[in-house]
Amino acid sequence: MSAHRFPPARSLRALPTALAVLALVAALAACATAPYTGRSQFILVSAGQEARLGAEAAKEVLAKEKISTDKAKIERVRRIGGRIAAASQAEQAWEFHVVENDEIVNAFALPGGKVFVYTGLMRLARSDDELAAVVGHEVAHVTLRHGAERMSQSLALGLGEQLALTLYGGSSAGAQAFKVAYGIGANVGVLLPYSRTHEYEADRVGLVYMAKAGYEPGAALDFWGRMLAQSQASGGKRPPEFLSTHPATEKRMEAIRAMLPEARAHLPAKGRPAPAAPAGTL
């Protein structure tokens, strides 16, 4: 019965931390349910904490990246983002920013609703419907609280001591810990890949949002198809950044195809205007 042997002295030293984390988990464990999919989620971070940390990280992105001043591009992303945010009916301090960099094909969202789209990705998204597919997916990551789940997992694993101090002890030293837990890499603007569960869930809910906002969900397949073609054209040497965190495999595209009827049921009835962006959406 070696599995029941008393732990060796070395791991005993880690015990107080582990107990503290366990106590924290016991005190705060809240089983949330993901909207639309009904999946139960393990979340230890409040929406307010999540929004505060996301806003801090967004400040850093805004300071480090070249934010576009091109009125047409800004208007395009804000118009699409605003309609999708309205369709999500999620109360977040939404902000949609354009990063001026044609070399980078990427988009990402921070908790609390700060969404960044690179001009390189905008060039590849030929129609508003295609861009809406990307924005819908990113907005879904926010409303489904995937970032909070990611942070909660590292807290529960005892990997987030610094983060725990920041969240519950008022320390401000945890910005880096937050970035690690949230999956923001050394390069600002590069988020580590989400799990497959999170990706499929964001695909499914993102398609519903885009349809509710009046965009054709089938455009998601056109966009992913073009991403895949671009990657194959480069011989897989330099896949677009968005593709490195969002693998456009045949399997994923098949899954999206199967999700289309559900999404299309949410398209506004003909003649009825799609919801407009709420006032104050940046």
Tell me the catalytic residues: 138
- Of 70-78, 80-88, 164-172, 198-206, the segment contacting Zn ion by CB under 5 A is 198-206
Judging by beta carbons within 10 Å of its beta carbon (0-12, 13-18, 19+), is residue 141 exposed, middle or buried? Answer: buried
The set of residues, in sequence order, having a beta carbon less than 8 Å from that of 114 and lying 6+ positions away, is: 54, 55, 57, 58, 61, 94, 95, 97
Task: Give the residue with the Cβ less far from Zn ion, 73 or 252.
Answer: 252
Nearest approach in angstroms of CB 248 to Zn ion is 11
- Between 47 and 86, how does the x/- string for binding to Zn ion read (CB under 5 A)? ----------------------------------------
Nearest approach in angstroms of CB 241 to Zn ion is 12
d(CA 109, CA 74): 16
- Of 77-85, 113-121, 200-208, 267-275, the segment contacting Zn ion by CB under 5 A is 200-208
Residue nearest to Zn ion (CB): 202
Nearest approach in angstroms of CB 104 to Zn ion is 16
Contact in structure between 144 and 35 (CB atoms under 8 Å): yes
Task: Give the residue with the Cβ less far from Zn ion, 164 or 241.
Answer: 241
Closest by CA position to 112, among listed 61, 64, 177: 61
241-280 residues in contact with Zn ion (CB under 5 A) are none
Nearest approach in angstroms of CB 268 to Zn ion is 25
Q: In one letter, which amino acid is 174?
A: G
Query: If residue 81 lies in a helix (H) or strand (E), which one and from where to where?
Result: helix 71-88
Vertex 17: Cα angle to 11 and 22 (nearest 5):
105
Task: Give the residue with the Cβ less far from Zn ion, 21 or 148.
Answer: 148
d(CA 267, CA 210): 8
CA–CA distances in Å: residue 159 to residues 18, 51, 55, 173, 177: 10, 21, 23, 15, 9
Task: Give the residue with the Cβ less far from Zn ion, 61 or 202.
Answer: 202
Query: If residue 10 lies in a helix (H) or strand (E), which one and from where to where?
Result: helix 9-12
Nearest approach in angstroms of CB 203 to Zn ion is 8
Total of chain residues touching Zn ion, rule CB under 5 A: 1
Vertex 57: Cα angle to 120 and 74 (nearest 5):
35
Task: Give the residue with the Cβ less far from Zn ion, 77 or 202.
Answer: 202
- Of 35-43, 180-188, 196-204, 253-261, the segment contacting Zn ion by CB under 5 A is 196-204
- Of 29-37, 83-91, 105-113, 195-203, the segment contacting Zn ion by CB under 5 A is 195-203
Residues making contact with Zn ion (CB under 5 A): 202
